[in-house]
Structure 1
Amino acid sequence: MDRFDSMQVFIAVVEAGSFTAAADKFRISQAMVSKHVNALEQRLGATLLTRTTRSLHLTEIGRNYYENCKQILRQVEAAEAGAEILRGHPKGLLRISASSWFGACILAPIVADYLLQYPEVNIDLALADRFVDIIDEGFDVAIRIGELEDSSYIARKLSMSEWVICASPAYLAQAGIPQTPRDLQQHQCLGFTNWRNHSGWRLMQKQLMGRSPFPSRFDSNNIQALQAAALKGIGIIMMPRALLEEDIAAGKLTEILQAHIPPPRPVHALYPREKQVPLKLSTFLDFLSLALRQTSGETSRS
């Protein structure tokens, strides 16, 4: 049994907290996961994990071995990255983290186009609306939208995400067209529950000096659900322009409050500081940056 494979499986067990999750990640059986861990324990002559029916915990030796495994595998990845650069074409697994809405609506088609152009690269795209620790969770890069806090990672700006406020013609004909943000107190504003306090309707409310939240008959953490509601005339939607552009062009949604739209938000790629950036990562970021700028129209304006 390959020792490096067993190390990777062991790391996945620790980080996922279960044999089942590790099996799903590597598309192997739970029994095979157990064999990998048992092979390491037999080689070391020590117990790495204490297991019960409900949980598992690292032993002291296991915790030290886990940290050493991660360091060893990072060194192996660095060596492979150097060989990849000398070979002149990208190859291997690229793990990407992004928010659910951006990943599903914007990133996924770009990833598919990249895979068609670079057949020796495999991509694991993980979508989650939570803070992801890039190194601890084993990602090569995370795509984040908005202003960044101080970080030890390298941040590459890819594009700007423009906002738009829209409603269906039917809704506006019935409820009227708001002229200022204050008018939204008399309208239904579809709420995206994953917004932070400094974005979306919450940002507008802050600008109105803490007025009560805008009324909403429908809130969701899913962008497609809100888009469907807007198209049905349920209320007013605020989203990145790239998501609603086709509906606007088709006349299904009408732009409103153009003078009061929040400023564009930067889209960054964050990745660990390394002596050599793997070719699979550098080519993907170049590909993604160009695709995003074409989508937003930046290339035509520059």
Structure 2
Amino acid sequence: MDRLTSMAVFVKAAETGSFAAAGAALGMTSQAVGKHVRLLEERYRMQLINRSTRRQSLTEAGRAFYERSKSVLAEMEAAEALAANLQAAPRGKLRINAPVSFGAHSLVPTLAQYMRQHPEVSVDLTLSDRLIDVIDEGYDAVVRIAPIADSRLIARPIGPYRLTICASPAYLAERGTPLRPEDLTQHECPGFSYWGRGPLREWHLVGPDGRHVVPVSSRFSINNGQALRNAAVEGAGIILQPCAMLREDLAAGRLVRVLPDYEPPPLPIHLLFAPDRRPTPKLRSFIDFVVARFGEG
């Protein structure tokens, strides 16, 4: 007989208090219930149930075996549910949050590809530079560009977020082109204002002569990356922004890289989601797709 079946019969007998009651609950005879229990006792060479004409009770070994059997059966049930989930087609609504610039320029094209592959999934994407609480605000997953501090969440790295320094040809013609990192202190460097805090006052750059920390300032700060890019195109100054957002402007000559031998250290990008022993097919497929698209590390 299957040991898992015998365990399930034993657990029912322990919970109902008699072979007859267990048999009635399981649709088998009391004799069949007793046979399952005896097989377990013989296999493990210990008595699990004290039997008398009037009542049955668990032995000390039986109580321990009962608790362990319940755990084994629960794990088996979870494994079967997971297997069923793995075979199910992704469907339903995904609620996703991402920072504005990364979401608009990198994540949206990826989501369009994902949705073509999974026509039964719909996506509700919110773009915000505010720090989102995944669990309390009901999101399936969020993208975060920063070191991860929330230990409640599972974090999957999806690649570095590379930044570049650039300005318009008109601005550089008027104000000159920086040749060394410290030259940035003499320029307008419009900054990105994060949610709840101002722009960076120092830019960290790495070049052939090592690491530089350069103080920067400007009369102009903006809380939207696309607007900051527009300001740079119009000659407002030198900006530090994501490569993905500036790629077309650089290729078209609307913007020009500044200090090409010096790069800001890339920022970590993670996909965060709540821990769950049974992730839904839609979430699992989304995570796998995004990790494959952007690459880990």
Give the TM-score normalised by the residue count of structure 2. 0.64
> Equivalences for 1:8-87 in 2 at 5 Å?
82=82, 85-87=85-87
Aligned to 1:252: 254
- Aligned residue for 2:164? 164
Deviation, structure 1 residue 98: 1.4
Which residue is 2:139 aligned to?
139
Matched-pair identity in %: 45
Aligned to 2:277: 275
**Cα distance in structure 2, aligned partners of 1:131 and 1:177:** 36
Q: 1:233-289 deviations in whole A, cap 9, x for unaligned?
A: 221111111111111122221111234322111210111111122221122122223
Q: Which amino acid aligns with 2:227?
A: A
Which has more strand, going by share of residues? 2
Deviation for aligned residue 1:112: 2.0
The answer on 1:120 being equivalent to 2:120 is: yes
Change (3 A) 1:102 1:150: same
Contact 1:178 1:256 in 2 (8 A): yes
TM-score (norm 1): 0.63
1:219 equivalent in alignment to 2:221 = yes
Question: Partner of 1:165: helix, strand, or coil?
Answer: strand
2:204–2:265 CA contact under 8 A, matched in 1: no
Please identify which structure carries the higher helix content: 1
Distance 1:84 1:126, change over 3 A: farther
- Displacement of 1:185: 1.6
C-alpha root-mean-square deviation of aligned residues, in Å?
3.1
Q: 3-state DSSP class of the match of 1:258?
A: coil
Whether contact under 8 Å (2:192, 2:199) holds in the other structure is no
Q: Distance in 2 between matches of 1:148 and 1:247?
A: 31
Shift of 1:108: 1.9
Map of 1:107 onto structure 2: 107
CA deviations on 1:70-119 (whole Å, 9 max, x unpaired) are xxxxxxxx99x858624432111111121222222322222222112211
2:75 is matched with none
Q: Does 1:92 align with 2:89?
A: no
Contact 2:145 2:268 in 1 (8 A): yes
Structure 1: how far apart are the matches of 2:87 and 2:292?
A: 24
Instruction: Write out per-residue CA displacement over residues 142-176 of structure 1, whole angstroms, 9 at most, x where no aligned residue.
Output: 11012212512111001111110001122112211
Which residue matches 1:129? 129
- Structure 2 distance, partners of 1:188, 1:102, is 24
Check the 8 A contact 2:129/2:195 in 1, yes or no.
no
SS at match of 2:202: helix
In structure 2, the CA distance between the partners of 1:86 and 1:105, relative to structure 1 (3 Å rule), is closer
- 1:167 and 1:110 mapped to 2: Cα distance? 28
**2-structure distance, mates of 1:258, 1:146:** 24
* Larger Rg, first or second structure (1 or 2): 2
How many Å separate the matches in 2 of 1:274 and 1:107? 24
Equivalent residue of 1:159, what SS?
strand
1:285 aligns with 2:283: no
Query: In structure 2, how many angstroms separate the alpha carbons of the residues matched to 1:100 and 1:195?
Result: 11
Aligned counterparts of 2:230 and 2:138: Cα–Cα separation in 1: 35
Tell me which residue corresponds to 1:188: 188
- Separation in 2, partners of 1:195, 1:179: 32
In structure 1, runs of 5+ residues without a counterpart are 1-77
Closer/same/farther in 2, CA of residues 195 and 236 from structure 1, 3 Å limit: farther
Question: Counterparts of 2:111 and 2:240 in 1: how far apart (Å)?
Answer: 26
